[in-house]
Structure 1
Amino acid sequence: MSFIEENLTQEFENELKYLKLLSNQYPTIAAACTEIINLQAILNLPKGTEHFLTDIHGEYEAFNHVLRNASGVIKRKIYDIFGNSLRQDDIKSLATLIYYPEQKLELTLKNEKNIEDWYKITLYRLIEICRYVSSKYTRSKVRKALPKDFSYIIEELLHEQPDRLDKEEYYNEIIKTIIRIGRANEFIIAISKLIQRLVIDRLHILGDIFDRGPGADIVMDTLINYHSVDIQWGNHDILWMGAAAGNEACIATVLRICARYANLDTIEDGYGINLLPLATFAIDFYKHDECLCFKPKIENSKDYSEKDIKLIAQMHKAIAIIQFKLEGEIIKRRPYFQMEDRLLLNKIDYKKGIIKLDGKTYNLKDNNFPTINPENPYELIPEEIDLIEKLKSSFLNSEKLQKHVSFLFAKGSMYLKYNSNLLYHGCIPLNEDGSFKKVKIGASGHEYSGKAFLDRLEILVREGYFYKNNPEAKLYGMDIIWYLWTGPDSPLFGKNKMTTFERYFIEDEETHLEKKNPYFKLKDNEEVCNAIFEEFGLNPNISHIINGHVPVKSKKGESPIKANGKLLVIDGGFSKAYQGQTGIAGYTLIYNSYGLLLVSHEPFESTHKAIEEEKDILSTTVVLETGVERKRVGDTDIGEELKLQIKDLEMLLDAYRKGLIKEQR
């Protein structure tokens, strides 16, 4: 037998083994045929709606509202159905009920005089909306989404037409009975949540869930319970992932940022991490230090006493100094990170209170360093060693934090290719001429660039968290995680340096500058975007880059649409800390079967006002692209998978008919 014949035989045997396994799932010709028909039908359904959000930064109230209203999709659906028959006030009330059914029902029950009529009208309207939003899915998919308590009833109502004479009484009787037996409230809550679920088929989060805002833990709980989500890691997410892995520099940085924004409740209440050791340490060493450079950024200072603010400032300074020492250890341990310029503690003249940088001398705004030995400034004193060990133990043993970070690993990645869109948080490191920058990783000096660089980094990040039985690989992975937070060629950070020390201690703003990677100048260049598409195996003619990380300064006239629509930056200032720069409160992106919609949002006032006063987020929608033909499931990545399944089933069908595999009857 020739080599070719032998390999063909082996290939045939392997194929037959696979088909025999497949026959266990589809044991007869009829079963295989039914599934082929089913999959072929699914390919012709409209594609599901995708929802893109980025840079949430713990702003859980605004995030929660945008998720509930699907960036205005729900209200648009209400207008589609009832735009010509309902008043604006009625549409607002109906939308608010769908967003917040429990809370809105409570208010309605207090104020509505004829509650039975209200129930009847509302139930009919909600069923009509639910029927409309479920129409693009198979019955099977809708059935899986139905709440258990009402699955049979909702399915009946969705698929029966009340205007048909033979079914009218049946339909009406279901509605009357729901009201009569006192289950209307529960039914309204269930169907409202079903509508929320059905209007969005998949949620994409382009990074930076953590830091600044007060409720990153609440955002994470919401995402864990969401029906379909993926996450592209941001630099702030990777920082928390490093802290959860046990990287001491990441732990110190997480605590510093939480202190900076007076957001220690997330640490203590959200994740159960004990901050008493840090508070005690800060009081011991900074008792008589006002720590003026470390006063927290507080949105509402009325929530804090002067004593509270002073203690937070002391904790802030204490952990910042520890952070600089711990970062120094990593920089010295990994010289190929090329971050020696970030070793600043040894450049201070502690007696004179000055520092020399790049040939210039600067006065320090603060020269009280009780824990620094000028002869060995990066050495941790015994009390600091004890403190960081206690803090590390708290981070490693926080069940909730570990659960959240495990979810980030399960659903997250450095980038994602999905339905001809390339999603990532920060940048693809480039040279000034637009070519992909080659970056050395590891002592071996091996260079990576473009897609290969991001792929290699993701492997190392996972090793830093999961390689518990390989201390050397784990330590290197954790150092890489820290590098991704702050390193000069980090695709998540995208700047040549992070000038944290300078911003605290030096008045001259010239020292605060952080030079962005050339990517941020070149992202408006179509040729550069096309090169990125080709690098990641995407068709430049139909693809888009969806990007977060750098807030778009809308109030200065900056557009989120770059490179003639090939690249979309959707960070518009979800975080309140950025809204002064951006002038808005974030962008979100909707990709439905008709095309791409970019939605800009005004600041969200509060959940209370959204419910009590029916104040929705004011949003402006821009249609970016509309297709000549409506996109079907067959045009998506899932469609490609279904086509492969159909091909396999057709091969199984052929094997049955030729007698290569016997039907199981």
Structure 2
Amino acid sequence: MLNTSLSFKRPEADLSVLELLAVKYPNVDAAIAEVARLAAVQTLPKSAVHVISDIHGEDKKLQHVINNASGTLRPLVEEMFSERMDANEMAEFLKLTFYPAEVTERLRHTLKEPEDVKAYAARMLKSQLELLRHLVSNFSLRLASNLFPREYSELLLEMLHAPSTERGPEFVAAMLDELVRRGRALHLIHLLGRLIRNLAVDELIIGGDCWDRGPRGDRVVDYLRLQPNVEFIWGNHDALWLGASLGNEALICTVLRVSLRYRRIG
């Protein structure tokens, strides 16, 4: 006997989800286009996942490890440029790639003339953009562009696509001239250095223990907050400091004991 009590109506919760999706994908073509895009994204190679644990307040060491992108950048740079750069040029480019803020800050004091800035920027931007094209190819354009520095997003897209659109070298040169004239060429190089590192590692997973023993657990947390995609797992040392900061007397005593033991209290 047919059970007439069965209903094929969608639950209210499902309808709520569909209503939200309908705002973003208002018709069949929009939905199909997104499904096709996501299917293509699944074919892209998996990017590196960087797992770090037991940092214990060592903020300088953490910055060094993150700047090196879990060791993925050096072999890639060497593979791409070893036949076109000598040892000194390779070392210079790697240093810029790993420490863009420090390198560009030093150059602001050493490159006094606009022509010197332009020559340096033209040389480094060419290599940076080539490296970025390689890294961006591992991501969907939507995801990659979300990591682009907001103010320079459109400019960067133009630069990255210049070769494929058969534009002459004067196209990028005109952009560079304006950046040099307005004193922002080194700033862009700094931003691209950070972008290269962020694209080299898709996800950063912190396996706990940011605090204790080392000098500046607060700087560790501050630096991690600047990273684009971080998953965080609290460790027992982190819980200890959190509890102490909330006023638990036993944990305050433990924090003081550990800090005295490692000579972190002046």
Q: Tell me the TM-score range normalised by the shorter chain.
A: 0.7 to 0.9
1:30 and 2:32 aligned: no
Change (3 A) 1:147 1:43: same
Give the match for residue 121 of structure 1.
123
Letter in 2 for 1:257: V
Distance 2:19 2:167 in 1: 48
Distance 2:126 2:25 in 1: 40
Distance 1:206 1:165 in 2: 46
The number of residue pairs the alignment matches comes to: 263
Give the match for residue 153 of structure 1.
155
Taking structure 2 as the reference length, what is the TM-score of the superposition? Answer: 0.88
Give the match for residue 72 of structure 1.
71
Q: CA deviation at 1:181?
A: 3.3
1:12-71 deviations in whole A, cap 9, x for unaligned?
676455434432332212211221122112111222221011111111111111111113
Give the match for residue 238 of structure 2.
237
Give the match for residue 89 of structure 2.
90
Change (3 A) 1:198 1:5: farther
Q: Which is bigger in relative contact order (C-alpha 8 A, separation at least 6)?
A: 2
Change (3 A) 1:20 1:234: closer
Matches within 5 A, 1:439-518: none
Aligned 8 A contact 1:123 1:175 in 2 = no
What secondary structure is seen at the aligned counterpart in 1 of 2:50? strand
Aligned 8 A contact 2:117 2:180 in 1 = no
What secondary structure is seen at the aligned counterpart in 2 of 1:44? coil
Taking structure 1 as the reference length, what is the TM-score of the superposition? Answer: 0.37
1:204 and 2:205 aligned: yes
Give the match for residue 172 of structure 1.
173
Change (3 A) 1:130 1:14: closer
1:189 and 2:190 aligned: yes
Letter in 1 for 2:48: T
Distance 1:149 1:44 in 2: 30
Change (3 A) 1:21 1:132: closer
Give the match for residue 107 of structure 1.
106
Give the match for residue 53 of structure 2.
54
1:57-115 deviations in whole A, cap 9, x for unaligned?
11111111111111322222211210111122222211211222232124345556944
Give the match for residue 257 of structure 2.
256
Give the match for residue 131 of structure 1.
133
What secondary structure is seen at the aligned counterpart in 2 of 1:6? coil
More helix per residue: 1 or 2? 2
Matches within 5 A, 1:37-48: 37-48=36-47
Q: CA deviation at 1:10?
A: 5.0
What secondary structure is seen at the aligned counterpart in 1 of 2:68? helix
Give the match for residue 223 of structure 1.
224
More strand per residue: 1 or 2? 1
Q: CA deviation at 1:11?
A: 4.8
Change (3 A) 1:30 1:223: same
Distance 2:136 2:228 in 1: 15
What secondary structure is seen at the aligned counterpart in 2 of 1:210? coil
What secondary structure is seen at the aligned counterpart in 1 of 2:144? helix
Letter in 1 for 2:56: H
Moved more, 225-234 or 16-25: 16-25
1:169-227 deviations in whole A, cap 9, x for unaligned?
32332233323332211111111111121111100111111100101110001112211
Change (3 A) 1:208 1:16: closer
Change (3 A) 1:165 1:142: closer
Distance 1:70 1:193 in 2: 10
Q: Which runs of 5+ in 2 are unaligned?
A: none
Change (3 A) 1:6 1:88: farther
What secondary structure is seen at the aligned counterpart in 2 of 1:9? coil
Distance 1:11 1:108 in 2: 63
Matches within 5 A, 1:562-601: none
Aligned 8 A contact 1:120 1:176 in 2 = no
Aligned 8 A contact 1:68 1:196 in 2 = yes
Aligned 8 A contact 2:118 2:176 in 1 = no
Matches within 5 A, 1:321-340: none
Aligned 8 A contact 2:212 2:259 in 1 = yes
Matches within 5 A, 1:625-644: none
What secondary structure is seen at the aligned counterpart in 2 of 1:55? coil
Q: CA deviation at 1:229?
A: 1.0
Matches within 5 A, 1:182-581: 182-264=183-265
Distance 1:27 1:118 in 2: 48
Letter in 2 for 1:94: F
Letter in 2 for 1:84: E
Letter in 2 for 1:61: K
What secondary structure is seen at the aligned counterpart in 2 of 1:122? helix
Aligned 8 A contact 1:197 1:227 in 2 = yes
Letter in 2 for 1:54: S
